[in-house]
Chains A and B, each alone.
Chain A
Amino acid sequence: MGLEYVRISPGFEKYMPKDYVDLVQYGQFGKEVDVQQLGQFKELVEEHPMCAGCFMAYFIRVFYAALPKPEDTIVIGTAGCARLALSQAAVPFIYGNYGDTNAVASGLKRALNIRFPNKEKDVVVMAGDGGLIDIGFGMTMHSWFRRENFTTIMVDNEVYGNTGGQESGMSPKGVQLKMAPKGKQFEKINAVELAKTAGCVYVAKISPTNPKRIAKTVRRAVLAAREFGPTFIHAYTSCNIEYSIPTEKVLEDARKREKQDFGFYEWMTDEVKEFFEQLERAPQEVKA
Chain B
Amino acid sequence: MPEQRVIDADELILKTERQRKFITGAQAMAEAVKRANVDIAIAYPITPQSEVMHLVGDIWAQGYLRDYYRAEEEYGAMSAIAGAVRGGARAFSATSGPGLLRGLEAIASWPGHRIPVVLGVLTRVVNAPLSIQPDNVEISYLLNCGMVVLHAENQQDVFDFTLAGFVISEKVDVYIPVAVCTEGFFVTHAKGYVNMTPEDLKLPPRDPYKAPVPPTDCEIPPARIQRDAPVQKSNFMSYLIHAVWQQEIWSSNRRAMKYINHYLGGPIEVVNEDAEVFIVASGCAAAQGREAVRYANMEGLNVGLVKVKSIRPFPEKQIRQVLSNAKAIIVPEHNIVGWLAKEVKACIPNSDAVIGGPRVYGGMTLPVELIMEKVYDAFGIKKSKKVVV
Contact = CB atoms under 8 A, between A and B. Distances in A.
B225 A92 contact: yes
B86 A108 contact: yes
Given A5-B218, A5-B219, A111 B224 contact: no
Contacts, number: 153
A94 B89 contact: no
Interface centre among A5, A90, A104 (most CB of B within 10 A): A104
Given A29-B223, A91-B223, A111-B40, A106 B105 contact: no
Contacts of B80: 103-104, 106-107, 110
Interface of B: 39-40, 42, 66-67, 69, 71-73, 75-77, 79-89, 91, 105-106, 109, 113, 216-228, 230, 232-233
A1 B218 contact: yes
B110 to A, nearest CB: 10
Contacts of A92: 216, 218, 223-225, 227
A94 B228 contact: yes
Interface string A71-110: 1111010000001100101111111110010011111111
B363 to A, nearest CB: 29
A103 B228 contact: no
8 contacts: A91-B223, A92-B227, A96-B79, A96-B109, A107-B40, A113-B67, A115-B39, A139-B79
Contacts of A105: 83
B86 A139 contact: no
Nearest to A29: B223
Given A94-B83, A110-B89, A111-B40, A116 B217 contact: yes
B87 A100 contact: no
A72 to B, nearest CB: 5
A114 B83 CA distance: 13
A54 interface: no
Contacts of B113: 96
A138 interface: yes
Contacts of A20: 222-223
Contact of B39 (A1, A71, A114, A139): A114
B83 A104 contact: yes
Interface of A: 1-2, 5-7, 16, 20, 23-24, 29, 49, 71-74, 76, 83-84, 87, 89-97, 100, 103-116, 121, 138-139, 141-142, 146
Given A104-B80, A110-B83, A121-B217, 10 more contacts: A1-B218, A6-B223, A7-B221, A29-B223, A71-B218, A95-B228, A105-B83, A108-B84, A114-B39, A138-B72
Contacts of A2: 218
Contacts of A76: 83
Contacts of B221: 5-7
A100 B75 contact: yes
Contact of B79 (A97, A113, A114): A97
B88 A103 contact: no
B40 A114 contact: yes
A29 B80 CA distance: 29
Contacts of A106: 76, 80, 83
Given A94-B216, A103-B75, A103-B77, A111 B222 contact: no
Contacts of A138: 72-73, 76
A108 to B, nearest CB: 4
Contacts of B220: 1, 5
A96 B83 CA distance: 9
Among all A-B residue pairs, the 4 with the closest Cβ atoms: A111-B87, A107-B83, A107-B80, A107-B84
A7 B224 CA distance: 12
Given A103-B75, A142-B72, A90 B82 contact: no
A182 B40 CA distance: 48
Contacts of A93: 228
A4 B109 CA distance: 32
